[in-house]
Amino acid sequence: MSELAKTPLYDEHVALGGKIVPFAGFAMPVQYPAGALKEYHAVRADDGGGLFDISHMGQIRVRGAQALDFLQYVTSNDVARLVDGQVQYAALLNDDGTFIDDITTYRLAEDHYYLCVNAANRHKDVAHLKAQAAHFDVHIEDESERTTLLALQGARAASILAPWVNIDLGAIGYYRFATADIEGRKVMISRTGYTGEDGFELYLPNALAVSCWRALLARGAAPIGLAARDMLRTEMGYALYGHEISDAVTPVEAGLMWITKLDKGAFIGRDAVAARLAQGPRQRLIGLRLTERGIPREHYRVLAEGRPVGSVTSGMFSPLLGTGVALAYVDSEHLAADNLCVEIRNRAIPAERVRPPFVRSRVKKG
């Protein structure tokens, strides 16, 4: 474990009895003594509130006179649509139109942005961005090692967080953010998350990590590990790099054309994505709900008439639905098949195609 990086909250996780596992090069808690299922319910409950340490994620600051032009060129979404205090989901694509990463972009000003990237891709992303920045009047700074990132998710997220901050959380809309002064330091708070519940993500200087973590737990938030986080995001049908998206698929296959604005002008991967869209993809990402007992897992085969036509990328037993659900890539010619099955332990378990999310989202968009 010594070769793994540790977040500023590593000792807190150990003190709480967290089971530490390697994840994206970090030593992270997969679950705490209560278990992943109870942690899941702590977030999904009508009075829920769960606290996640996601400091393994990467944070990159982008500044300069051509920051907007730069981000328009390196990301798939239309950054020009952002206003100060707004967040945008986007992709970094390569020349083949496949995923380098999926990211969120925060606009602080027209010449000042902040990116959150996946932990496993951080160094690759920074290198890619710096290489492209050579053609623009822009400065790239990797702030990951001095930043703590927490996610507070659940119906009680706002009431748990409110006493700790000096801003009106109700004024922060979905995919918006604000800056608070906490203990004389700046904290960025966004109404975003990866669970389908209302909640916030907090970007803190490392010096505030322990005091914030302890304060939010003291107010009733439950510590949540990686296992429950994956259950929550899978129920929502949210993509995870290395599973639903990778350098092997484009936004066309992944169902992410809504974050890919082909009409905004030139950007990396645009022509390749447009060509794939015109040709039609060989496979597409879909949602499946099992109609008989079984738990689908990653790499399980999807069958049609007994023949393999795809494979599961993420799967689980949904506690809310009481059945197995999965995200899977399926050959395009079999998308309309009404006899899809997931092969589980040499048995073909019938499944119906459903459009994610598998459970109702409770994010506050109004």
pLDDT, tens digit (0-9, with 9 covering 90-100), for 149-189:
999 999 999 999 999 998 999 999 999 999 999 888 999 99
| Range from 36-50, 84-98, 333-347 carrying the lowest mean pLDDT | 333-347
Asked if 50 contacts 224 with a C-beta cutoff of 8 angstroms, the reply is yes
Give me Rg for the CA atoms of the chain: 21
Mean pLDDT of the chain: 97
Q: How confident is the model at residue 213 (pLDDT cuts 50, 70, 90)?
A: very high
Q: Which of 348, 252, 253, 267 is nearest to 307 (CA)?
A: 348
* Predicted local confidence at residue 366, as pLDDT: 66
* Residue 332 in this model has a pLDDT that exceeds 70: yes
Domain boundaries, the chain: 1-281, 282-355
* Predicted local confidence at residue 365, as pLDDT: 83
pLDDT digits 0-9 by tens, 277-307: 999 999 999 999 999 999 999 999 999 999 9
Partners of 330 in the β-ladder: 284, 310
pLDDT digits 0-9 by tens, 9-54: 999 999 999 999 999 999 999 999 999 999 999 999 999 999 999 9
Share of the chain above pLDDT 90, in %: 96
* Predicted local confidence at residue 364, as pLDDT: 86
Size of the chain in residues: 366
What the block records as the tokens of 308 is 């393999």
Asked if 284 contacts 335 with a C-beta cutoff of 8 angstroms, the reply is yes
Rounded to whole angstroms, the maximal C-alpha distance in the chain is 64
* CA pair distance 86, 35, nearest whole angstrom: 35
Q: Which of 157, 215, 181, 203 is nearest to 61 (CA)?
A: 203
- How close are the terminal C-alpha atoms of the chain, in Å? 44
In this structure, which topology does domain 282-355 adopt according to CATH? Answer: Elongation Factor Tu (Ef-tu); domain 3 (2.40.30)
* Predicted local confidence at residue 167, as pLDDT: 94
What one-character-per-residue DSSP string does 287-300 give? EEEESSS----TTP
A 10 A CB-CB count for 219 gives: 17
* Predicted local confidence at residue 363, as pLDDT: 94
* Predicted local confidence at residue 73, as pLDDT: 98
Residues 64-84 have a mean pLDDT of 98
For residue 163, whether the previous peptide bond is cis, meaning omega lies within 30 degrees of 0, is no
Burial of 341 (0-12, 13-18, 19+ CB in 10 A): buried
Considering the four listed CATH numbers 3.40.50.720, 3.60.20.10, 3.40.50.620, 3.30.1360.120, the one that applies to the domain covering 1-281 is 3.30.1360.120
H and E: helices and strands count for the chain: 9, 19
Q: Which of 344, 347, 349, 309 is nearest to 329 (CA)?
A: 309
Asked if 126 contacts 142 with a C-beta cutoff of 8 angstroms, the reply is yes
* Residue 2 in this model has a pLDDT that exceeds 70: no
Burial of 205 (0-12, 13-18, 19+ CB in 10 A): middle
